[in-house]
Chains A and B, each alone.
Chain A
Amino acid sequence: MKIALSSKGKDLNSSLDLRFGRCEYFIIYDLESDESKIIENQGKHSSGGAGIASAQQLIDQSVDGVISSNIGPNAYELLKNSDIRMYKGKNIPCKLLIESFKRDELEEIKEAGPSQKGVY
């Protein structure tokens, strides 16, 4: 099982980026092998539809879950349609969130956050 975390930095000590579509990086963490890799979020450069581009990237990475905080309506729909579960994280290091996830302590996101369209 692979989960993706929206991250501010390039390693597991980095804090979670609470933005989904405009986060800096995604950490893809494999729970079986305990290995992780970093990908740069392609969505952050988009002039529009950032969340869609980010979600597409994670779908292409075949992740099973996402830990983030504010997932907008478009990204939410896309992830949900791809059977990728979404979990709510706080502004704390990603490695702690992975521990919480393993203990089944993270709340599942069941509805989309507010649209950020036009908010600059």
Chain B
Amino acid sequence: MNIAVLSGKGGTGKTTIATNLALLLEANYVDCDVEEPNGFIFLEPEDIKSRDVEVEIPKIDQEKCILCGDCIEACKFNALAKTKNKIILFDKLCHSCGACGLACPTKAIEYTKRAIGKIEEGKRGNISLKRGIMNIGEPMAVPILKELLKELSEEGINILDSPPGTSCNVVNVLHYAHRALLVTEPTAFGLHDLKMAVELVKRLNIPFGLIINKYDENNPYLKEYMEEENIELIGKIPFRREIAENYSKGQTLIHVEKYRGYFQQIIGNIEEVLL
């Protein structure tokens, strides 16, 4: 069972929820926020093994190339261009689709590999911790996510700590998710982006529940929307300075007695409502 933790808006507490739940549930944790994965700061895995993620890019044999431009015509991503005397590749725009090679009449295109990021895998007790890391300056995270998510444990629970937003990256994570936890905060921005996230999980038919972080009972922002949409609230984390202080030191909340209960309650509700 894979449970994705997503939010729409960034900074609502996805990693706070995902890391604490992983520890309490003894679930495997997968940090899918490959642009800035920070779950390992809290979970401190040991025995980290690392491997590169590579994508295929065309390599043009200038001897065989007759500058016909068919490859450029075939490329839908503007990754190839033709100057007076050669074809130029813009490798970061290449989606590795292979159309250029098929289009080339003189077989002047071969493919080579290019590293765009890496996968790190470690352990904490019995649970397995994984994360993808995208190299600085790379624009495309999806190949890293596919590599990261392709061989997840079939037993027990995997928590997928999703990237923010509702972009391709999030959609790709959700393709592997059986359930979703939406984390939001009671602000106008939180609500605005939550609506997009709700629309997304509904469209993908993924059963979901809502967690409100930075909860304040005097704050009415989310109430009306939740009632309108009939959204299941499965937990809340109060708005406390102390929580932020813990987070800033890289500490998990379940180890603080008075906050552990909030996560136990979330797990109880997940079991009751989502599993």
Please give the residue numbers on chain A whose beta carbons come within 8 Å of chain B beta carbons, in ascending order.
43, 46, 48-50, 52-53, 55-56, 59, 74, 77-78, 81-83, 117-118
How far does the alpha carbon of A48 sit from the alpha carbon of B78 in the complex, in Å? 7
Set of chain B residues within 8 Å of A74, measured between Cβ atoms: 90, 93
Query: B206 contacts the other chain (Cβ, under 8 Å)?
Result: no
Known: A49-B90, A50-B78. A82 touches B83 (CB 8 A): yes
Q: Which B residues between 81 and 97 are near A, CB-CB below 8 angstroms?
A: 81-84, 86, 88, 90, 93
| Min CB–CB distance A82 → chain B (angstroms) | 4
A81's nearest neighbour on chain B, judged by CB, is: B83
How far does the alpha carbon of A81 sit from the alpha carbon of B32 in the complex, in Å? 39
In the complex, how many residues of chain B place their beta carbon closer than 8 angstroms to a beta carbon of chain A? Answer: 13
Set of chain B residues within 8 Å of A53, measured between Cβ atoms: 78
Since A48-B93, A74-B93, A81-B86 are in contact, a sample of 13 more A-B pairs with Cβ atoms closer than 8 Å, ordered by chain A residue number, is A43-B78, A48-B77, A48-B78, A52-B79, A52-B90, A52-B93, A55-B81, A56-B81, A56-B82, A59-B82, A77-B88, A78-B81, A78-B83
Query: B72 contacts the other chain (Cβ, under 8 Å)?
Result: yes
| Min CB–CB distance A104 → chain B (angstroms) | 25
Quick one: which of B78, B84, B90 contacts A46, CB cutoff 8 A? Answer: B78
Set of chain A residues within 8 Å of B81, measured between Cβ atoms: 52, 55-56, 59, 78
- In the complex, the answer to whether A49 meets B139 with C-beta atoms within 8 Å is no
List 21 A–B pairs whose Cβ atoms lie within 8 Å, in order of A's numbering.
Answer: A43-B78, A46-B78, A48-B77, A49-B77, A49-B79, A49-B90, A50-B78, A52-B90, A52-B93, A53-B78, A55-B81, A56-B72, A56-B82, A59-B84, A77-B88, A78-B88, A81-B83, A81-B86, A83-B84, A117-B139, A118-B139
